[in-house]
Structure 1
Amino acid sequence: MITFFGALLLLIAGYAVYSKFVERVFVIDDSNRTPAYTKRDNFDFVPMNWWRGNMIQLLNIAGLGPIYGAVMGALYGPVAFIWIVIGTIFAGAVHDYFSGMLSMRHGGAQYPSIVGRYLGNTVKSLITVVSLVLSVLVAAAFTAGPAQLIAQLTPLSFTVALLIIFGYFLLATLLPINRIIGKIYPLLGGILLFMAVAIGVSLLFQDNPIPNLTLTNLHPQELPIWPLLMVTISCGAISGFHCTQSPIVACTMKRESHGRKIFYGAMVIEGIIALVWAAAGMTFFNGTGGLQEALAQGGPSYVVNEISISLLGTLGGILAILGVIILPITTGDTALRSSRMILTEGLSKFFNMEGKVKVLIVTLSVAAPALFLATIDYTFLWRYVGWTNQVVATVMLWTATMYLLKNKKLHWICGVPALFMTGVVCTYIFYAPEGLHLSYKLSVMIGFSLTAVVLGWYVRQIFIHRHANLAKAANKAA
Structure 2
Amino acid sequence: MNSLILVLSVIIIFIIAYATYGSYLCKTWGLDPKKQTPAHTMEDGVDYCPAKAPVLLGHHFASIAGAGPIVGPIQAAVFGWLPVMLWIVIGSIFVGGVHDMGALFASVRHDGKSLGEVIHSTMGDTGRKLFSWFAWLTLILVIAAFTAICAGLFVSTPAAGSTSILFIILAIAFGFFVYRKGAGLGVSTVVGVVLLFACIWLGMRFQFTAGFTKSTWVIILVAYITVASVAPVWILLQPRDYLNSFLLYAMIIGAVLGLVILHPTIEAKSFVAFNTGNMNYLFPMLFVTVACGAISGFHALVGSGTTSKQIDNEKDVKLIGYGSMLIEGVLATIAIITATYIATPELGELLSDGGPMNVFATGIGNFMQSFGIPFETGKVFTSLAISAFALTSLDTATRLGRFIFQELFDNRQSADEKANVLTNKYVSTVITAGLGGLLAVMGYAKVWPIFGSANQLLAALALLTLAAYLKKSGKSNKVAVIPTIFMFVVTFAALVLLIIQKSADFATNWILVIIAAILLVLAVVLARFGYKTLTETTEEKIKG
**Mapped partners of 1:196, 1:107: distance in 2:** 34
Aligned residues: 454
Tell me the amino acid that sits aligned with residue 420 of structure 1: F
Is 1:108 equivalent to 2:112 in the alignment?
Answer: yes
Matched-pair contact (CA < 8 Å) for 2:67–2:390: yes
Is 1:221 equivalent to 2:301 in the alignment?
Answer: no
Query: Match of 2:103, SS?
Result: helix
Matched-pair contact (CA < 8 Å) for 2:288–2:452: yes
Is 1:469 equivalent to 2:524 in the alignment?
Answer: no
Q: What does residue 371 of structure 1 align with?
A: 437
Q: What does residue 333 of structure 2 align with?
A: 275
**Mapped partners of 1:338, 1:53: distance in 2:** 16
Gap runs ≥5 in structure 2: 159-209, 369-374, 505-522
Is 1:323 equivalent to 2:385 in the alignment?
Answer: yes
**Change over 3 Å in CA distance of 1:212–1:7 after alignment to 2:** farther
Matched-pair contact (CA < 8 Å) for 2:70–2:357: no
Matched-pair contact (CA < 8 Å) for 2:59–2:241: yes
Matched-pair contact (CA < 8 Å) for 1:97–1:263: yes
Gap runs ≥5 in structure 1: 439-449, 473-478
Q: Where do residues 129-168 of structure 1 align in structure 2 (5 Å cutoff)?
A: 129-152=133-156, 153=158, 154-168=210-224
Is 1:80 equivalent to 2:138 in the alignment?
Answer: no
1:45 shift after superposition: 0.4
1:30-58 deviations in Å (ceiling 9; x for gaps): 23221112211110001111111111111
Q: Where do residues 102-251 of structure 1 align in structure 2 (5 Å cutoff)?
A: 102-152=106-156, 153=158, 154-206=210-262, 208-210=264-266, 216-217=271-272, 221=276, 223-247=280-304, 248-251=306-309
Matched-pair contact (CA < 8 Å) for 1:28–1:256: yes
Tell me the amino acid that sits aligned with residue 416 of structure 1: I
1:410 shift after superposition: 1.6
Q: What does residue 74 of structure 2 align with?
A: 71
1:315 shift after superposition: 2.9
1:16 shift after superposition: 1.4
1:464 shift after superposition: 4.2
Tell me the amino acid that sits aligned with residue 36 of structure 1: A
Matched-pair contact (CA < 8 Å) for 1:39–1:45: yes
Q: What does residue 13 of structure 1 align with?
A: 16
Query: Match of 1:44, SS?
Result: coil
1:57-87 deviations in Å (ceiling 9; x for gaps): 1111111111111212233222211100110
- Identity rate, percent: 26
1:66-115 deviations in Å (ceiling 9; x for gaps): 11112122332222111001100111111111111111111111122222
Deviates more, 1:1-10 or 1:373-382: 373-382
Pairwise CA RMSD: 3.1
Matched-pair contact (CA < 8 Å) for 1:220–1:292: no
Deviates more, 1:115-124 or 1:61-70: 115-124
Deviates more, 1:134-143 or 1:411-420: 134-143
Is 1:308 equivalent to 2:337 in the alignment?
Answer: no
1:420-472 deviations in Å (ceiling 9; x for gaps): 1122112223334656899xxxxxxxxxxx99xx89x96x8666434422443
1:191 shift after superposition: 1.0
What is the TM-score of this pair, normalised by structure 1?
A: 0.86
From 29, 32, 40, the equivalent of 1:29 is 32
Q: What does residue 48 of structure 1 align with?
A: 51
Is 1:89 equivalent to 2:147 in the alignment?
Answer: no
**Change over 3 Å in CA distance of 1:197–1:226 after alignment to 2:** farther
Q: What does residue 458 of structure 2 align with?
A: 392
**Mapped partners of 1:378, 1:271: distance in 2:** 22
1:273-299 deviations in Å (ceiling 9; x for gaps): 11111122212x14x686456434542
**Change over 3 Å in CA distance of 1:437–1:6 after alignment to 2:** farther
**Mapped partners of 2:49, 2:500: distance in 1:** 41
**Change over 3 Å in CA distance of 1:327–1:467 after alignment to 2:** closer
**Change over 3 Å in CA distance of 1:71–1:151 after alignment to 2:** closer
